[in-house]
Amino acid sequence: MSGEVRPGDFIRLDETAASLGVSVTPVREALLTLRGEGLVDLVPRRGYLVSPMSRQDIEDIFWLQAELSKRIIDRAIPRYEAETLEHHSDLIDDFEAASAAGDTDGVVRAQYAIHRSINRVSCSDKLSRFLGNAARYMPYRLYAQDPEWRANALEDNRRMLEALRAGDVDAAHTVVDDEFSAGARLLVEHLDRAGVWDESREPEAAKQA
């Protein structure tokens, strides 16, 4: 999703394993998973080919994440108590500190922890797992390097905390929609600049946007 590997590029097991400093086995397993998700295709005797991607694919992925997140929020809100709200507030403080320090890895860890905290409170293991699978498409390191994204994410996290405290489902849903709409837009803009789209798969409206 970062655009570093482009549709049509071949991913070779030996080269990828060497670049990552691991054996071929985990690379093969990862590529098999990606194949199952439609992100790569296996070409006999040549390796794995990065599958084409469209803007609509990105929008669909983020829409799915938003819908799963809202369902999880619905279940989490009635379960929040003073202690879990305080813990959630502490996680936002961690995000703010990492953002202020320009600590990309710290921002990624804190944002993951914030979302994971909501998932745990919801007691929705299956939904959380589905969301986790979809969230692998989120290039959080790319986002975390952007000061504007960090500022907006911090504001979204604070708005979500207030919605959780108030038990306001509608306000929480609005935060979720804003977060994932912004994430989709930023990723589409990034991939636009990288020129990775398969225009043959784009709906006419998306091409003209």
Domains of the chain plus CATH, in order, are: 1-52 (1.10.10.10), 55-194 (1.20.120.530)
Q: What is the pLDDT of residue 133?
A: 82
- First-to-last alpha carbon distance for the chain, in angstroms, is 20
Q: Which residues pair with 49 in a beta bridge?
A: 10, 41
| CA–CA dist 81, 77 (Å, integer) | 9
Q: What is the pLDDT of residue 156?
A: 97
AA letter at 131: L
Q: What is the pLDDT of residue 10?
A: 82
Q: What residues of the chain score a pLDDT lower than 50?
A: 205-206, 209
AA letter at 108: V
Task: Tell me which residue has tokens 């439609």.
Answer: 38
Cα–Cα–Cα angle for 187, 189, 194, rounded to 5 degrees:
90
pLDDT tens per residue across span 135-192: 877 788 889 999 999 999 999 999 999 999 999 999 999 999 999 999 999 989 888 8
Q: What is the pLDDT of residue 166?
A: 98
Q: Which residues pair with 41 in a beta bridge?
A: 49
Q: What is the pLDDT of residue 205?
A: 46
